[in-house]
Structure 1
Amino acid sequence: MPFISMPNPTAEPKPRIIIFATKTGGGHWSPALAIAEEITRQSEDHYQLEVIDALYSRPNSRLTVDYAYSLMIRRYRPLWRVFFYSMNNQVALGAGERVLYGMTRKNLAGTLQNGPCPKAVISTNSIIHRPISRLLRQVYPEVPFISVVTDPVKIHKAWVHKPARLVLAPSAMARRALIEMGQPAESILETGLPVSPTFHPASPQEKQTFRAELNLDGQKPTVLIMHGAEGHMNVHRNAKAIEREFGARVQQIVVCGKNAALKDKMDASGFGPHVKIFGFSTHVSTLMRASDILITKAGALTVSEALACGLPILISQFLPGQEEGIPEWLQERQAGMPAFTAQAVVEGLSKLVNTPAILQTYSANARALGRPDAAVHAAAAILNLVQK
């Protein structure tokens, strides 16, 4: 059974805390890792943290739900919107729970019982809350179930789970929505969306250092363009539009993710040395902290990481369903703006780079919205519950 255990096992078994996540994008997996790392730090390595892919079935395979989600968001986005809203009621959620419980029960039970009784069980994905909580009540009814909500604006009813002893909300808006949908207010704590501690604002000196390492000018406006781990061809469209409008006056850092076709197209497009092109990168925090502005899709994790770094965001695309409302949320707070076409990207970028006072305002607002310490607060709340 695949899992990441932090810290490494020792001769004396440590108390276990299990975090169930999924690898359907990084938006559920990365917060789980951030929480695990911070619990380990705050508890001084007292607990064995296990971060488990709840949708794992057997080696070299994926569960149907994992594959179907990835396929829909990449190729059939309108279909995902239909699915998202058709499941946004208790009847559909109940049916979905029964199906998913049957698919995952054996592996989830094996994880729960593969060692001492856990001190807490945590979930970072709404689709697995109910099967995990149901099984937990059967096997270890006294163990607290903790929910980590990862959508800051659009809240699906699947996030509402009254048996949860603690619900960590990523925003005040999410907390209000959860209460309106029936989640007991006393169970909810607003912490922000947990991100890695590497995401925080860069000092002017740090920004200069990061740019020097990339062979970029320390003074020119620098924009980071990315579109999640899978990449998207509108990354190339936006990079070309910026190149036509600004030339070398604006530096670009372009991350293509795992999209080899996008990387090949970028490499073959004849960009100058002021455009740095990467494939999949594990150093996104460094790239963000080297930049002034981010152009990306409205993924909650990427948006939270960028805000933690104090980056204004141009939203070039959003996934129907859970990402709806994020562009407007940023725009209302003057921390970003929608930019769904190449022309809108150029206009938004012009507004920011041609008027330094506006860029400073948007950057300050992004820092104010950012929660680089969200994992610290989340871990503290979890430990407070576990240690009672």
Structure 2
Amino acid sequence: MSRAWRSLLAHMATTHGVTEASEIGKHTVNVALMYGTGGGGHRASAEAVKCLLQQKHAEWRIELHDASAIIGASFGDDLYNALLQSNLTSVMPVVYSVASSVHPYLAPAHRNAVKAYFKNIGVQPDIVVSMVPFSNRAFVEALPFAEHVTIMTDLTHSDAHPWIQHEKQFIVCGTEQAYKQAVALGMPETQLFRASGMVVHPKFYIQPAPSRAHALIESFGLQPGLQTVLVLFGAYPPSSVMKQICTILSDREQRLQHPHLPREALDMLGWTEPVNQIIVCGKNEQLKRQLEASVNQHNETGISRAHIVGFTSHIYDLMHVSDLVIGKPGPGVVSEALVCGKPVLLYAGHSAHYVMEQERTVLNMVCTRGFGRASHDVHELVSFSADEITGYHQNIMAERPNRAVYEATEVISSRLHAKATSPDSASIG
């Protein structure tokens, strides 16, 4: 065993298994965080882990790497994002079927691409932390001397998003179902960790003071005292659905025209009260321009009481000042909302195939555990009462807290500990 790793072990022994320093002797611990660019959730998870690791291990070399670009799969991610933005998620099963069919033939090329990439940048990772499906076998085979931790950013393993691919993976499972899937697929339980949920950035755990929340609402040009709705469909929101939701929310009287929502019921429940809207357009620049123009019209067809946002890294601020979230059943956004104690109303689309396979478990979890509800109809989706939202909030607060990002960083430290004590560690440092 090298002197560097003896020092690491000694330090870990005095900190109960958690390393605090990173440059040990002449060896700097190299952590490679792998993310994909299909949607925004994979990178968000990688950023969350990086943030906490940097706080705990300031001298470690912790870097994010775009796995999609490395293996030449950026086109597939671009197609995925375009389908999301065009509200064509019902086409996804075909895309995933093609990807699953060709993946075995591309696996050797992916492995070689990963190996060449790290050789070219002159880095030999001590640990590879993957937040992406599909590519984990390539990571393990290309970098056999590294530890490999896979943090699942989906609630389950699926054909659409295969996570469990190699016996050398150490897998952080955010749900009991994912844990059982891994066991059923032959993974030893010593290679699994049952986390308390999905990884969420530490800033979502920091609740702002009421005075700051009030100031933020005013700075957005919104009206304090009204319910605030965060409309958030990820990094590539569908224009048609977003515009429909925002228009209906702007004038809740429009819902009185819906045949299944009689005026008497709405009046009794207070559903005609106006609401504030925070609308996140992500990377859909055309949608942002259209909504901004509508807000500026200030007429009966325009959107009122709305704060329009493009792509932002401050979703936690927007979520903290909101009362509920309307969006799609993405595991990242839903997990962030639940950490903040915010109910979620999920759009389930116009057909049975609208919700992607990897998101169906999210929708089911929200509905069965009373964290919110889902609807195929936009008018029905945005018809909510204060009492309904309060009930969902109480259900969320009664749940076991999600501490997955803190647990995942402990797993990374423990795997480095395991690496240091393994027979192969003599070649490190």
Report the TM range for the smaller structure's normalisation: 0.7 to 0.9
Bigger RCO of structures 1 and 2 (CA < 8 A, at least 6 apart): 2
CA contact 1:225–1:296 (8 Å) conserved in 2: yes
Q: Distance in 1 between matches of 2:325 and 2:400?
A: 14
Partner in structure 1 of residue 63 of structure 2: 50
CA–CA distance in 1 between the matches of 2:157 and 2:167? 22
Is residue 145–residue 166 contact of structure 1 (8 Å, CA) maintained in 2?
Answer: yes
User: Does 2:339 correspond to 1:332?
Assistant: no
- Match status 1:20 vs 2:20: no
Which digits, 9 at most, give the CA deviation of each residue in 1:175-214, with x for residues without a partner?
A: 2233233333332112222121111263661533432332
1:212 aligns with 2:218: yes
Query: Would you say the 8 A contact 2:281–2:308 is kept in 1?
Result: yes
5+ residue gaps, structure 1, are 1-6
For 1:1-388, what aligned pairs fall within 5 Å after superposition?
14-43=28-57, 45-57=58-70, 63-75=74-86, 76-84=88-96, 92=101, 96-103=103-110, 105-111=112-118, 114-115=121-122, 117-137=124-144, 140=145, 143-153=146-156, 155-156=158-159, 158-191=162-195, 192-200=197-205, 202=207, 205=210, 206-233=212-239, 234-245=241-252, 249-269=274-294, 270=298, 271=302, 274-317=305-348, 319-347=355-383, 349-350=384-385, 353=386, 355=387, 358-368=388-398, 373-388=403-418
**1:3 matched residue in structure 2:** none
Q: Is the 8 A contact 2:70 2:117 kept in 1?
A: no
Amino acid at match of 2:369: R
Residue 200 of structure 2 aligns to a residue whose secondary structure is coil
User: 109-118 or 253-262, which moves further after superposition?
Assistant: 109-118
CA contact (8 A) 1:97 1:130 kept: no
| Partner amino acid, structure 2, of 1:344 | E
Give 3-state SS (helix, strand or coil) of 1:322's partner.
helix
Q: Secondary structure at the match of 1:67?
A: helix
How many residue pairs align between the two structures? 364
Q: Aligned-pair distance for 1:283?
A: 1.6
The one-character-per-residue Cα deviations of 1:67-87 (angstroms, maximum 9, x if unpaired) are 343344445433321343576
Structure 2 gaps of 5+ residues are 1-20, 254-271, 349-353, 419-429
* Structure 1 position 169, deviation (Å): 1.1
Contact 1:308 1:370 (C-alpha < 8 Å) held by counterparts: no
Identity %: 22
Q: Which entry has the higher C-alpha Rg, 1 or 2? A: 2
Indicate if the aligned counterparts of 2:250 and 2:303 stay in contact, CA closer than 8 A. no
Shift of the alpha carbon at 1:301? 0.9
What is the aligned partner in structure 1 of residue 260 from structure 2? none
Q: Deviations over 1:284-321 (max 9, x none)?
A: 11010010000011111111111111110011146422
- Superposed CA RMSD in Å reads 3.1
Structure-2 residue corresponding to 1:4: none
Q: Distance in 1 between matches of 2:179 and 2:327?
A: 25
The one-character-per-residue Cα deviations of 1:223-280 (angstroms, maximum 9, x if unpaired) are 1112111222211101111223267621111112222332233223344652222222
Runs of 4+ in 1 over 6 A off after TM superposition: none
Query: 1:221 touches 1:292 (CA, 8 Å); kept in 2?
Result: yes
Taking the aligned partners of 1:229 and 1:342, their CA distance within structure 2 comes to 20
Q: Which amino acid aligns with 1:32?
A: A
Task: Give the AA of the match of 1:380.
Answer: E
Provide the TM-score with structure 1 as the length reference: 0.83
Secondary structure of 1:230's aligned partner: coil
* Equivalent position amino acid for 2:381 in 1: V
TM-score normalised according to structure 2 size? 0.76
Cα distance 1:227–1:336, how it changes in 2: closer, same or farther (>3 A)?
Answer: same
| Aligned residue identity for 1:313 | V
Moved more, 144-153 or 112-121: 112-121
Pick closer, same or farther for the CA change 1:108–1:310 going to 2, 3 Å.
Answer: farther
How far, CA to CA, are the matches of 1:201 and 1:370 in structure 2? 17
